[in-house]
């Protein structure tokens, strides 16, 4: 890489920057559209490998566990974040790669590539716009996500967080990079945490969505509420059909088990057309078809 092409190359790893987004926003302010920057970070996985190699077993796992609690969990809880900054002064923070990529995108940069070097990960990006100045990233255990509902009205879906912080900014990037897998979801989705995969497998992450049903934004059976990005991938006729009714907690996906995005769209089209003719009968039939696939055929979320 020709260093003359780079507008800014960080000499401080992001783990030691207390206000990371303000730091990136300042770089954005001083850069022109198209300027490239390079930052580097010790990722969560790189840190784990380093700490486990540093001490003998079982001391290494004890040290790693304590380090994880103090420097990974404490910054995410309102009750402990002050303790974390008092002890660490904001240095040596544990950061996942998806979080750093998401922070860069949220601050107006486009990811070019990233690569490991000497125990760190270097990330090349270019300025493509202004920062989003997001004051409410998905950082806590309970999150709210903007989704498109009845009559194209946006509402907040409540879920337990299964993705790394700032992962919501990675959706378009990962879709362009990895495309979709079977079931219509993003392939090789690095946004999802290890515990998040467990929560998703057993639908535990969706328990807070019951409040969306109580609140009247969703119903029991219906198409899943979509983000603006995924909604934009749907044909216009399905967009119109989707927004004529409330989204649901149990989607037609589990009745038909489609494998591609096109099959997912066809499945939803079939459900929505039937629902418009006979709402109660359609939801009743789809609920029991989904129940059969989930309970007896072991269909699972991913």
Pick the range with the lowest mean pLDDT from 125-139, 148-162, 204-218.
125-139
Q: How many CB atoms lie under 10 A from the CB of residue 26?
A: 14
What pairing do the DSSP bridges indicate for beta strands 36-41 and 6-9?
parallel
Q: Which fold has domain 3-127?
A: Rossmann fold (3.40.50)
> Residues 7-65: pLDDT tens digits?
778 889 999 998 899 999 999 999 999 999 999 999 999 999 999 999 999 999 999 99
pTM of the model: 0.78
Pick the range with the lowest mean pLDDT from 3-7, 34-38, 174-178, 259-263.
3-7
Distance CA 299, CA 180 (A): 19
212-248 b/e with 16+ CB inside 10 Å = b? Answer: beeeebbbebbbbbbeeebbeebeeebeebbbebbbb
How high is the pLDDT of residue 138? 61
Cα 182 to the chain's mean position, in Å? 18
Please spell the DSSP secondary structure of 272-287, one letter per residue.
HHHHHH-HHHHHHHHH
**Bridge partners of residue 144, in order along the sequence:** 158
How high is the pLDDT of residue 3? 41
Pick the range with the lowest mean pLDDT from 28-37, 73-82, 151-160, 265-274.
73-82
> Residues 237-260: pLDDT tens digits?
999 999 999 999 999 999 999 988
Is the bond leading into 58 cis (omega within 30 degrees of zero)?
yes
Residue that the structure tokens 């003359």 belong to: 4
Q: Which residue intervals of the chain bear CATH 3.40.50.150?
A: 3-127
pLDDT beyond 80 at 262: yes
The phi and psi torsions of 28 (rounded to 5 degrees) equal -60, -40
Query: Sorting pLDDT into bands at 50, 70 and 90, what band is 187?
Result: low
Tokens of 25: 């926003």
Query: Sorting pLDDT into bands at 50, 70 and 90, what band is 4?
Result: very low
> Residues 64-113: pLDDT tens digits?
999 988 888 888 777 888 888 888 888 898 999 999 999 999 999 999 99
Burial class from Cβ neighbours inside 10 Å (0-12, 13-18, 19+) for residue 168 reads buried
- Average of pLDDT values for 192-205? 84
**Residue ranges of E strands in 27-184:** 36-41, 109-117, 120-127, 142-148, 154-160
Distance CA 123, CA 114 (A): 4
């Amino acid at each position: 890489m020709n260093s003359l092409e780079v507008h800014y190359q960080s000499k401080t790893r992001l783990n030691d920057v207390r206000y990371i987004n303000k730091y990136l926003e300042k770089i954005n302010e001083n850069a022109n559209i198209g300027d490239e920057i390079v930052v580097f970070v010790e990722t969560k996985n790189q840190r784990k490998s380093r700490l486990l190699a540093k001490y003998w077993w079982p001391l290494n796992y004890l040290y790693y566990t304590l380090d994880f609690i103090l420097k990974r969990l404490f910054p995410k809880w309102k009750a402990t974040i002050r303790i974390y900054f008092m002890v660490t002064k904001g240095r040596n923070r544990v950061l996942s790669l998806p979080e750093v990529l998401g922070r860069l995108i949220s601050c107006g940069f486009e990811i070019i590539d990233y690569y490991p070097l000497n125990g760190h990960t270097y990330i090349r990006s270019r300025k493509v716009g202004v920062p989003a100045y997001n004051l409410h990233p998905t950082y806590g255990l309970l999150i709210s996500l903007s989704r498109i509902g009845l009559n194209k009205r946006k509402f907040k879906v409540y879920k337990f967080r299964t993705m790394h912080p700032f992962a919501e900014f990675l959706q378009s990037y990962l879709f362009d990079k990895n495309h979709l897998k079977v079931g219509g979801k993003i392939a090789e989705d690095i946004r999802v945490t290890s515990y998040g995969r467990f929560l998703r497998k057993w639908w535990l992450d969706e328990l807070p969505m019951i409040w969306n049903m109580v609140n009247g934004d969703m119903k029991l059976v219906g198409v899943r509420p979509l983000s603006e990005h995924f909604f934009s991938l749907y044909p216009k006729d399905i967009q119109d059909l989707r927004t004529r009714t409330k989204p649901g907690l149990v989607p037609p996906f589990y009745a038909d088990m489609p494998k591609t995005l096109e099959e997912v769209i066809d499945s939803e089209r079939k459900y929505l057309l039937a629902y418009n003719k006979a709402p109660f009968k359609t939801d009743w039939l789809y609920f029991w078809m989904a129940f059969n696939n989930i309970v007896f055929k072991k269909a699972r979320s991913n």
